[in-house]
Amino acid sequence: MAAQRYREPGLRDRLAAEYVLGTLGGPARRRLQAIARYDPALRGAIADWEARLVPMADALPGRTPPGRVWDRVQARIGAHSEPTARRPFARLAFWRAVAVAGALCSIALAAWVGVATQSPAPQPVAAHTGRMLALLSDERAQPAMTVSWPTEPGADGRVEVVIRIMMPHPEMGPDQAWELWALPPAGRDAAPRSLGLIGIEREQRMKIEAALFPTLLEASGVAMSVEPRGGSPTGRPTGPMLLRGPCVKV
Amino acid sequence: MTADSLDPAALRDLLARAALRDQTAFADLYRRCSPKLFAQAVRILRNDNQAEEVLQDAFVSIWHHATDYSSGKSAPMTWMTAIVRNRALDLVRRPKSEVYGEDTDELAAAVPDAAAGPLDLLLDGRSAAALRDCLGTIEPRQRQTIALAFYQGLTHSELAAHLREPLGSVKTWIRRGLLRLRDCMDARASGGV
């Protein structure tokens, strides 16, 4: 299904309605979600339908969930618990962090060794070009995302940027967009340059226009900010920089 | 749980405090809202363990995104319910869904016939006046199909199997019912009723 079709308002509205109602099958549902990340009009239509239909849920008789659900929520938001708490979940969180760190090391290592970069399976990156790799961490210094790109543009002059999300539970608010920024070289007083909006899939690829390539080449790092739907209205980061990190040549 | 415990103004206040990392307020929010949200997840997933997972993920997400809500326009319960529904529907529609197998008839048979129950409650209730009134104006068959889809999280083909009606008819009822509902609710909203 071509993304173009969703631009037709009648169809867009109908699909948004069916998405919120829940009748779309898995593949259609995921396609619509993918398009919605980049299409503010579709997100708006979905929000309108949520406002219309979701109050139907008010009529459901409540059912109290088991107490363990709240215990786990508390453990995950770090409420009243030390990092070394003996709760099973805290330990799980620790091992998750270890797994994330391990995954990161293998990515970096694979790149260093020059093994068919990044991913074991599809779309190998040309092996003779170097790559820049930015490791973005959250405010608690937990690795959360890698952003990488080749040091040479592709045949069409554009650059394919590969984004990998390592957060265990990426979640974007309903009125949000996540925007990536190239940070200026150290010591230069310049504004970050927008690289575009991203979604919450584990692995994403986006093409960057040739004009942005010099910016990418000299970037000191990459950051991700939370912006209103459709991205920053000003061309500068307006929301909190949730993630940021330096980039290195690998 | 009293009706007041879900008062939108009170929930807005709790969410605003949760956004300021007030864990007591967040606990209160959980206590008030989790039964309705859990009920919604159980309905869609028909599996308590998965519903607990979804509820847990949803509340972690609500905690981290409470700041974003304050700038939102929907009612607090609508915002939170949409988070739970989306997660539950994503799970039930995930690529390798083996929970219920591929047998649509079997799944349809597992859906209780009492699906109209909540809708009746809604039609009798005092909340969501525009939605309630507008649901009342659409054809009963369309209304029942929409309610079944919403409360049970069924796809078009699952609905068709459950209702023992042609897929085309089911799709038409839903499409027409939703259009009618939208026009009715938009007219009420713009009419300032």
Give the DSSP letter string of B29-48.
HHHHHHHHHHHHHHHHH--H
What is the reported pLDDT for B193?
47
What is the reported pLDDT for B121?
58
ipTM, two decimals? 0.84
User: CA A135 to CA A104: how far, in whole Å?
Assistant: 9
What is the reported pLDDT for B6?
87
Nearest CA in chain A to B120: A59
Nearest CA in chain A to B114: A60
Q: Looking at the partner chain, which of B64, B119, B181 has a beta carbon nearest the beta carbon of A171?
A: B64
What is the reported pLDDT for A95?
47
Nearest CA in chain B to A53: B131
Treating both helix axes as pointing N-terminal to C-terminal, what angle do B48-69 and A67-76 enclose, rounded to 10 degrees?
40
What is the reported pLDDT for B58?
95
What is the reported pLDDT for A137?
83
Report chain A residues whose CB lies below 8 A from the CB of B60.
73, 76-77, 169
Nearest CA in chain B to A54: B78
User: CA A124 to CA B31: how far, in whole Å?
Assistant: 49
Residues of chain B with pLDDT under 50: 1, 97-116, 126-127, 193
Report chain B residues whose CB lies below 8 A from the CB of A53.
131, 150, 181
Long-range contacts of A96-101 (CB under 8 A, 24+ apart): A96/A168, A97/A142, A100/A142, A100/A143, A100/A166, A100/A168, A101/A143
Substitution target from B89, B102, B121, B181 for chain A, most A beta carbons within 10 A: B89
A226 lies within 8 A of chain B by CB:
yes
A7 lies within 8 A of chain B by CB:
no
Q: Are B125 and A72 inside 8 Å of each other by CB?
A: no
Q: Are B119 and A77 inside 8 Å of each other by CB?
A: no
Nearest CA in chain B to A176: B68
Q: Looking at the partner chain, which of A21, A64, A77 has a beta carbon nearest the beta carbon of B146?
A: A21
What is the reported pLDDT for B147?
92
Task: Express each pLDDT in A37-62 by its tens digit.
Answer: 777 788 889 999 999 999 999 888 89
Name the H helices within chain B: 8-19, 23-45, 48-69, 76-92, 104-110, 116-124, 129-137, 140-152, 156-163, 167-190
Q: What is the pLDDT along chain A (250 residues), one digit of tens a residue?
A: 444 566 677 888 999 999 999 999 888 898 888 888 777 788 889 999 999 999 999 888 899 999 999 999 999 888 654 333 334 444 444 445 545 554 554 444 444 333 333 334 444 444 456 888 898 887 767 778 999 998 888 888 888 899 998 877 677 777 788 999 999 888 788 889 999 999 888 889 988 888 888 888 888 899 999 888 888 888 888 887 888 888 888 7
Q: Are A77 and B60 inside 8 Å of each other by CB?
A: yes
A11 lies within 8 A of chain B by CB:
no
What is the reported pLDDT for A120?
41
Q: Are A171 and B65 inside 8 Å of each other by CB?
A: yes
User: CA A239 to CA B4: how far, in whole Å?
Assistant: 34
What is the reported pLDDT for B156?
92
Substitution target from B131, B138, B144 for chain A, most A beta carbons within 10 A: B131
Report chain B residues whose CB lies below 8 A from the CB of A74.
23
Q: Using only the alpha carbons of chain A, give its radius of gyration.
A: 21
What is the reported pLDDT for A179?
93
The one-letter amino acid at A143: P
Report chain B residues whose CB lies below 8 A from the CB of A76.
56, 60
What is the reported pLDDT for A99?
52
Q: Are B83 and A23 inside 8 Å of each other by CB?
A: no
Please give the structure tokens belonging to residue A227: 């912006």
In the 3-class helix/strand/coil scheme, how is A76-102 assigned residue by residue? HCCCCCCCCCCCHHHHHHHHHHHHHHH
Q: Looking at the partner chain, which of B56, B63, B125 has a beta carbon nearest the beta carbon of A59?
A: B125
Substitution target from A52, A70, A74, A226 for chain B, most B beta carbons within 10 A: A52
What is the reported pLDDT for A6?
62
A86 lies within 8 A of chain B by CB:
no
